[in-house]
Amino acid sequence: MFTGFDFDVIARSLPYLSQGMLFSLGLTVLSMIGGIVLGTVLALMRLAPFRVLHLPASGYVNLLRSTPLILVIFWFYFLVPLAMKRLSGDAYATGIGPFYSALIAFTLFEAAYYCEIIRAGIQSVPRGQVHAAFALGLTYGQAMRRVILPQAFRNMVPILLTQGIILFQDTSLVYVVGLTDFMGAASKIAQRDGRLVEMYLFAALIYFILCFLASYVVKRLQLRYSVGR
């Protein structure tokens, strides 16, 4: 079955592929950080007792969670340059480059998913903890920052990381706007050299190894956490 395979094409293109992988990893890590920060804000808004806060947050989250990531990517490729022109007042502004457009799209998209994880995490901290914090005279902000969020995040670490693994897989979809992430690099070489079989199988293998190892680490972490509690 592997007769006629050209493994050399992989070796030859390794530098190009590694550059793509750096792009994928960078996009993953940065949009994960951005997504968690924004997701926390959204979660706090959704849990707030004021309509002006939780209605827009709920609307945003439900909208993004109903929309395919590819469509979201298309949306931002359309909207970001428009916004840049509007902001800079320069009709010929070309935007901020493909990486940052992707970063914005992924951050805003993932924030909706992180919001739901974080909201569940906050709600899993027993009510008694909130009451105890208030009873000590802490304000709402202090109670959240010092008491609730630290506990919530501690419980959430494994699931936040799992979402990160999903995000890493999702970054491959920047292919649809022609960016050169790992998958983009693989497919460009595949088409240039006519080596689709080798390149796509190799890409699958690399994704598998990375994601499998990462989820193994998360599983170990989860065990440690559950014992520590």
Partner 1 sequence: MDFSVFFQPAFSGGGTYLDWVLSGIQWTLLVSILGWVIAFTVGSVLGVLRTTQRVVLRAPATLYVEVFRNVPLLVQMFIWYFVLPEIVPRALGDWMKTQMPMPEFWNAVLCLGFYTASRVAEQVRSGIQSIPRGQTYAGLAMGLTQPQVYRHVLLPMGYRIIIPPLTSEFLTIFKNSSVALTIGVLELTAQARQISEYTFRTFEVFTVATVVYVLITLTVTVAMRALEGKVRVPGYLGPAGR
- Compute φ and ψ for 139, nearest 5 degrees: -80, 175
Work out whether 29 is an interface residue with partner 1 (CB under 8 A).
Answer: no
Toward partner 1, which CB reaches closer, 204 or 221? 204
Choose the stretch contacting partner 1; rule: CB under 8 A; options: 7-15, 96-104, 132-140, 190-198. 190-198
Work out whether 194 is an interface residue with partner 1 (CB under 8 A).
Answer: no
Work out whether 3 is an interface residue with partner 1 (CB under 8 A).
Answer: no
Toward partner 1, which CB reaches closer, 144 or 183? 183
Please state, in angstroms and as integers, the Cα–Cα distance from residue 129 to each residue in 120, 140, 152, 158, 161, following that order.
16, 12, 11, 22, 25
Choose the stretch contacting partner 1; rule: CB under 8 A; options: 38-46, 144-152, 198-206, 219-227. 198-206
Q: Which positions from 210 through 229 interact with partner 1, judged by CB under 8 A?
A: 211-212, 215
- Determine contact, residues 203/195, Cβ cutoff 8 Å: no
Cβ of residue 211: shortest distance to partner 1, in angstroms? 4
Mention every residue, 6+ apart, whose C-beta is less than 8 A from residue 89: none
Toward partner 1, which CB reaches closer, 1 or 227? 1
- Determine contact, residues 95/84, Cβ cutoff 8 Å: yes
- CA proximity to 210, closest of 20, 4, 25, 30: 25
